[in-house]
Structure 1
């Protein structure tokens, strides 16, 4: 039986782009098998910033973030979450959020393996 009781989990985090290196190291330390990284922008509880460009005021309410996704079956999702929090935390607003979702099915294209064996 796997560390997630036979379930496959998707751990999805939105972090500060400058913390990606620390998060990758923390994930490697807990044995996270693979990650997918995407540059995204979004709005959460982090306050909007106002600025001026050529005399015009503008509001920046979409902040640049890095989305990190990790599908796990053989290691506990809680360990992956703890590693992301450890690597991403600055203690300031805008550190990000981590979500854990169940994965309904998984198939490895090359081998046709399914479920936890596909991860």
Structure 2
């Protein structure tokens, strides 16, 4: 099992969810709003003639625990649907998951996801 964590632009969330649903990969998903900074280093915006530097930008994190064989499909879907071609599109991280347990039934391993 793998834990996939994708950090994307908030405006791409609907596209990503729809693409995952089309591929049959939209189950067991956790979505969080975050603020962050990567190599983009923020942006400068002007409001009423004043310039403001925003070094922490709004992002969305998508967390999924999936079967090993689903990882290439999900990575491909995320890359295609979240990409704008501009700096700050995000990142995908893949971690090993040692164990999963469904609290309600006691199922373990892949049966729990």
Question: TM-score by structure 1 length?
Answer: 0.84
1:74 CA drift (Å): 7.0
Query: Equivalents in 2 of 1:85, 1:30: separation in Å?
Result: 13
Match of 1:38 among 32, 43, 48: 32
Query: Equivalents in 1 of 2:108, 2:28: separation in Å?
Result: 17
Match of 1:23 among 16, 33, 50: 16
Moved more, 31-40 or 15-24: 31-40
Match of 1:109 among 86, 103, 107: 103
1:16 CA drift (Å): 0.6
Query: Equivalents in 2 of 1:57, 1:24: separation in Å?
Result: 35
1:3 is aligned to none
What pairs with 1:1-119 in structure 2 (closer than 5 Å)? 8-32=1-25, 33-51=27-45, 57-73=51-67, 75-119=69-113
* Aligned positions, number: 112
**Is contact 2:2–2:68 with CA below 8 Å preserved after alignment?**
no
1:59 CA drift (Å): 2.0
C-alpha change, 1:91 and 1:54, in structure 2 (3 Å) is: closer
**Is contact 1:31–1:75 with CA below 8 Å preserved after alignment?**
no
The CA RMSD over aligned residues, in Å, is 1.8
